[in-house]
């Protein structure tokens, strides 16, 4: 019945909304559309597993708190958890809106595609805005509703009452908080769209998108540390009126019946902020409707590359003698610099490494809820300083290897396919050189001052050399089975189950960063152990590299990702 109804043609507005809703999750990176379902299923599975783990942990936590003789700690924990859930939803909304950043307003493609159709521009804008709002509402509700119901249910006990109010409070506060973030970001883009010259907009918009993504990802560990701030929840500082999650925390508290003056003012700010952000987003949409289409369509679409941007290419030609190796090196550099999606992914990986490192520093300096000065003399700090280059190079190298799998204009790869026979080793050498030049050396150079200032000149330099050698080894491991020219192969995100990938990378990151940092710290204790460790690493790297290059002589470059051999033999594919 519903299916039949959906298959019918409806009003223009309905059809436009249907079009925008279906196109929200389109990606040119994935060569097989069914793969998106596989990945979404995998992500849902991980989310459910995590919810179970978190749920159990929360259940135990509140059982213990409910057994305490006084309710003080219980009450403080509830407040901290409410703030955590509200902040988490706001961060999720921010991440979702940032990822959807290029699709927040109708773009050139929409205008051109719909130009020949009898559709008013007002209808296009209205449909886009309402479709966007609908998707965001669904996403925020999905993120906010389950914890809003589950967590208060676990709080039930002799100190816990008013569960219904808690559910309503957390849900409404999270929903409004999420919408506030969404509307604010839409407003930000709307203002940029109308104020900036059209020629500059793509670059600035991309930079802002990257910045937002980096900030949100790097801030995630701090969001997850909010439950640990329970001791500070009783007395909110005066600057809390400048912290948006606390505004919406005020909504929950008002619904719960708290009438303290600070909470009242936070509540008022939250309501005002919600209304103002929604009004501002609507206004920017109306503003754009009037002039954006004309600005986009009537601006020259010619995009030039400044001559000053050729330096990476020129720099590459100094140390790469084979033109084919240089071709791949320059190609990868340019594509990574110019592909919006690839740059965004790289930003995300860098933000993750930044988050990991800043979280470790925060843990060390905030031990026991009090700030303390960090000095390089303790073993923990020493390992942490060594973990900085290791963490950055791990996320950067693993991130780059992942990015290399994502295609850029797949159909243009015929150029490499026709050149590849007989030249695979020279072409793949370009990939190795790129990783060496952009994945290890900048990290070593940029982190060297930190190592020297924290560990002293000699130890800092030794640590930098050891970390550099370790990242060379990592390159060998990452490239051992990688027989592709970056961005030229089709991509099957569901080739490997998501849970397996996440587990593999999480465990590898933990082992690589913390395990090797401890090992390097141990090796740096004496001159002899440092020399021995350097020699082992150097020889290991050299042997591994020789083995990889020998294997490459007989290999062919892969231009199409295939399902795992067992799946192919059975003739079944994951859907």
Partner 1 sequence: MLEVRNLTKHYRRIVAVDGISFTIRPGEVLGFLGPNGAGKSTTVKVLIGLIEPTRGEILFKGKDVRLDWPGFLRVAGYVPEEPNLYSQLTGREYLQLTGRLRGLARAALEARMDRLLRLFSLWEDRHVLLSSYSKGMRQKIMLSAALLHDPELLVLDEPFSGLDVNTALILRSLIGALSQEGKMIFYSSHVLETVEKVCTSVLILRKGSAVAHDRVEHLRDLLRQPSLEAVFTQLTQQEDPGRVVQEIIAAIRS
Q: Which is nearer to partner 1, 138 or 305 (CB)?
A: 305
Task: Decide whether 536 or 562 has the Cβ nearer to partner 1.
Answer: 562
Residue of the chain from 197, 257, 422, 571 that contacts partner 1 (CB under 8 A): 422
419 part of the interface to partner 1, by CB under 8 A = yes
Under rule CB under 8 A, residue 433 binds partner 1: no
Q: Contact between 408 and partner 1 (CB under 8 A)?
A: yes
Shortest Å distance, C-beta 483 to partner 1: 17
φ/ψ of residue 407, rounded to 5: -75, 155
Is residue 200 involved in binding partner 1 (CB under 8 A)?
no
CB contact at 8 A, 85 and 174: yes
Q: Which of 44, 117, 156, 305 binds partner 1 (CB under 8 A)?
A: 305
**In the structure encoding, which two tokens stand for residue 203, read together?**
């670059």
Q: Which of 108, 154, 158, 23 lies closest to 296 in space, CA to CA?
A: 108
Q: What is the 3-state secondary structure (H, E, C) of 472-496?
A: HHHHHHHHCCCCCCCCCCCCCCCCC
> Does the protein bind partner 1 through residue 571 (CB under 8 A)?
no
CB atoms within 10 A of CB 524: 20
What are the distances in angstroms from CA 247 to CA 242, 427, 546? Answer: 8, 55, 59
Helix axis angle for 34-66 and 498-510, nearest 10°, is 60
Q: Which is nearer to partner 1, 432 or 476 (CB)?
A: 432
| Burial 364-377, CB ≥16 within 10 A → b, else e | eeeeeeeeeeeebe
CB 42 within 8 A of CB 150: no
For the chain, give the longest Cα–Cα distance.
79
Residue of 70, 304, 375, 377 that binds partner 1 (CB under 8 A) = 304
What is d(CA 24, CA 136) in angstroms, rounded to the nearest whole number?
11
Show the site string, 445-474: x = touches partner 1 by CB under 8 A, - = not: ------------------------------
Which of these ranges, 118-126, 410-418, 441-449, 504-512, lies near partner 1 under the rule CB under 8 A? 410-418
Residue 423 interacts with partner 1 (CB under 8 A): yes or no:
yes
Q: Under rule CB under 8 A, how many of the chain's residues touch partner 1?
A: 34
**Binding region for partner 1 (CB under 8 A) out of 83-91, 204-212, 323-331, 492-500:** 323-331
Q: Is 197 in the site for partner 1 (CB under 8 A)?
A: no
Stretch that binds partner 1, among 82-90, 238-246, 408-416, 499-507 (CB under 8 A): 408-416
Cα 374 off chain centre by: 29
Tell me the C-alpha distance between 78 and 249, whole Å: 12
Q: Is 198 in the site for partner 1 (CB under 8 A)?
A: no
Measured from the CB atom, the residue of 242 and 319 that comes closer to partner 1 is 319
Q: Is 44 in the site for partner 1 (CB under 8 A)?
A: no
Residue 331 near partner 1 by CB under 8 A: yes
Pull the structure tokens for residue 252: 């929950």
338 binds partner 1 (CB under 8 A): yes
Beta-carbon count within 10 A of 289 CB: 18
**Position 411 contacts partner 1 (CB under 8 A):** yes
User: CB of 560 within 8 A of CB of 490?
Assistant: yes
According to the binding rule CB under 8 A, does residue 339 interact with partner 1? yes
CA distance to 95, 120, 187, 286, 303, per residue, from 281 (Å): 18, 21, 5, 9, 29
Q: Which two three-digit tokens encode residue 487?
A: 């961005």
The residue to which tokens 């990176």 are assigned: 29
Position 418 contacts partner 1 (CB under 8 A): yes
417 near partner 1, rule: CB under 8 A: yes
**Residues lying near partner 1 in the complex (CB under 8 A):** 301-307, 313, 317, 322-324, 326-327, 330-331, 334-335, 338-339, 408-409, 411-412, 414-419, 421-423, 427
């Amino acid at each position: 019945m519903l299916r039949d109804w959906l298959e019918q043609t409806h009003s223009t507005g309905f059809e436009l909304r249907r079009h925008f809703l279906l196109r929200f999750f389109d990606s040119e990176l994935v060569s097989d559309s069914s793969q998106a379902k596989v990945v979404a299923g995998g992500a849902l599975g991980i989310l459910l597993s995590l919810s179970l783990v978190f749920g159990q942990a929360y259940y135990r936590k509140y059982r213990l708190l409910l057994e305490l003789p006084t309710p003080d700690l219980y009450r403080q924990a509830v407040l901290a958890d409410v703030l955590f859930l509200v902040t988490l939803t706001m961060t999720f909304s921010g991440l979702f809106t940032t990822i959807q950043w290029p699709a927040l307003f109708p773009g050139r493609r929409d205008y051109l595609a719909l130009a020949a159709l009898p559709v008013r521009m007002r209808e296009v804008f209205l449909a886009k805005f309402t479709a966007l709002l609908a998707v965001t509402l669904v996403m925020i509700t999905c993120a906010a509703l389950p914890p809003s119901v589950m967590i208060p249910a676990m709080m039930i006990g002799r100190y816990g009452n008013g569960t219904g109010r808690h559910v309503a409070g957390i849900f409404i506060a999270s929903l409004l908080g999420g919408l506030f973030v969404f509307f604010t970001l839409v407003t930000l883009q709307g203002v940029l769209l109308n104020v900036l010259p059209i020629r500059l907009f793509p670059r600035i918009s991309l930079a802002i998108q990257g910045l937002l993504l980096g900030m949100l990802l790097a801030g995630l560990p701090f969001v997850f540390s909010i439950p640990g701030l329970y001791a500070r929840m009783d007395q909110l500082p005066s600057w809390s009126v400048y912290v948006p999650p606390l505004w919406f925390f005020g909504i929950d508290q008002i619904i719960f019946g708290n009438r303290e003056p600070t909470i009242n003012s936070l509540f008022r700010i939250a309501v005002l902020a919600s209304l103002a952000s929604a009004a501002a987003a609507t206004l920017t949409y109306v503003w754009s409707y009037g002039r954006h289409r004309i600005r986009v369509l009537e601006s020259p679409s010619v995009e030039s590359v400044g001559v000053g941007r050729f330096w990476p290419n020129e720099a590459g030609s100094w140390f790469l003698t084979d033109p084919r190796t240089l071709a791949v090196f320059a190609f990868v550099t340019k594509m990574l610099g110019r592909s919006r999606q690839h740059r965004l992914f790289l930003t995300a990986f860098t933000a993750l490494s930044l988050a990991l490192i800043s979280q470790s520093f925060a843990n060390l300096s905030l031990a026991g809820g009090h700030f303390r000065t960090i000095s390089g003399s303790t073993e923990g700090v020493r390992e942490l300083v060594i973990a900085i280059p290791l963490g950055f190079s791990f996320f950067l190298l693993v991130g780059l290897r992942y990015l290399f799998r994502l295609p850029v204009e797949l159909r243009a790869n015929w150029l490499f396919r026709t050149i590849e026979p007989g030249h695979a080793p020279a072409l793949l050498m370009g990939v190795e050189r790129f990783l060496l030049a952009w994945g290890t050396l900048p990290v070593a150079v940029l982190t060297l001052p930190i190592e020297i200032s924290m560990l002293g000149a000699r130890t800092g330099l030794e640590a930098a050399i050891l970390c550099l050698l370790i990242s060379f080894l990592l390159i060998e491991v990452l490239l051992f089975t990688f027989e592709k020219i970056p961005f030229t192969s089709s991509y099957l995100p569901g080739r490997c189950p998501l849970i397996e990938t996440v587990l593999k990378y999480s465990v590898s990151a933990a082992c690589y960063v913390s395990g090797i940092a401890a090992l390097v710290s141990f090796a740096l204790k004496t001159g002899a152990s440092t020399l021995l460790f350097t020699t082992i690493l150097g020889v290991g790297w050299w042997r591994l590299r020789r083995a990889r290059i020998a294997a490459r002589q007989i290999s062919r470059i892969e231009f199409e990702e295939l399902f795992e051999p067992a799946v192919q033999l059975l003739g079944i594919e994951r859907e």
